[in-house]
Amino acid sequence: MKLAFSTLGVPGLPLPDVLRLATAHGYHGIELRTHPEEPVHPGLTPAERSDVAAAFKAAGVELLGLAGYTRVAAPGDDGPVLAEIRTLLDLARDLGAPYVRVFPGGADGQSPEEADATAARRLGTAAEHAADRGVRILLETHDSHRTGAAAMRVLGLVGHRQVGALWDVMHTWLGGEQPSETFAALSPHLGYVQVKDIASADDTTPLPLGAGVLPLAECVEVLSRHGWDGWLCWEYEKRWYEAAAPLTGLLDAGRDHLARLLNDSA
C-alpha cells in the first residue's frame, strides 16, 4: 500500500512546502483539500493548474485526490450540486488527480430513502461527466452515511464504475461498524482509505497515529488479508482543531506506525 497525507493537516501551506514535506518524510502522495481558502482550488486559472500539475511531477509525488465539500444528498435543486461536482471534476482532470471526494450530507428531517435516492440520482448523472474526464467520484463514509453499509445503499443504486467509496475509518467506527464489515460492504467500490486517530467518541481532536482508540491495526489487517493494494491517506484534521499538535512534527512517526502495521499484517 502507498502512503499519503491530506493538506487538511497543514491548512493554507503553500504547495511547494507541502510537496517538500511529502518527499522529506517518505510519503508517496498528497490529498489536496480544495476549499477556496487553500492554495489549490477550483478558481485557479488554466496556467495555474498547469503549474500545480508540473510541481507534482517535478517532486515525484502523486496527487491522490481532491477533497471537495459537495453534499450530494442535501435537500434542494440538483443543478447547483451537479455544477459543483463538475467543477471539481474539471479541476481534477487538469491537475491529474484520479479521484474527487464528495460528502453524503443528508439533512435532519430527510428520510433515509429520500437521502439515498437524491444522492444516487446526482451521482449517477455526474458519473457521465466523470467518465469523460477520466476521474472517479468517491462518496466518503461521513455524516448522514457514516458506515459502509449506509454508503452502499447509495452506491448500489448508482451502479456506475466512475462512482466509488472513500473509507474514513473514524466515521465507520463511530457508526459502530467493524473494519471487516466495512471492507465487505465497500470493497467492490473502494477508492482509498483515510486513516486518523482520536482519543474517544466524545473527543475527536486529532492524535498521532497509534495514540488513540481507532482500530487502525484491524483496518490494515483486513485490507492486507484481502490483497487490497491501494492508498492509506492520513487525514489529520488540524484545520478544525487549532490546539492540536502541528502535523509537521508527527509525519515521521505516522509513516513509521503505518509501516509497522503493514509489516505486521504481511
DSSP helix/strand/coil, 47: helix
Write out pLDDT tens, residues 28-37. Answer: 999 999 999 9
Q: pLDDT (tens digit, 9 = 90+) per residue, 76-102?
A: 999 999 999 999 999 999 999 999 999
- pTM check: above 0.85: yes
Contact 216, 223 (CB under 8 A): no
pLDDT digits (tens, 9 = 90+) for 212-251: 999 999 999 999 999 999 999 999 999 999 899 999 999 9
Distance CA 64, CA 103 (A): 17
Structural domain range at position 119: 2-265
pLDDT at 118 over 90: yes
The CATH number for 54's domain is 3.20.20.150
Number of folded domains that form the chain: 1
Buried/exposed 168-179: b ≥16 CB within 10 Å, e otherwise: bbbbbbbbebeb
Pairing mode, if any, of strands 231-234 and 62-71? unpaired
Q: What's the gap between Cα 129 and its chain centre?
A: 20
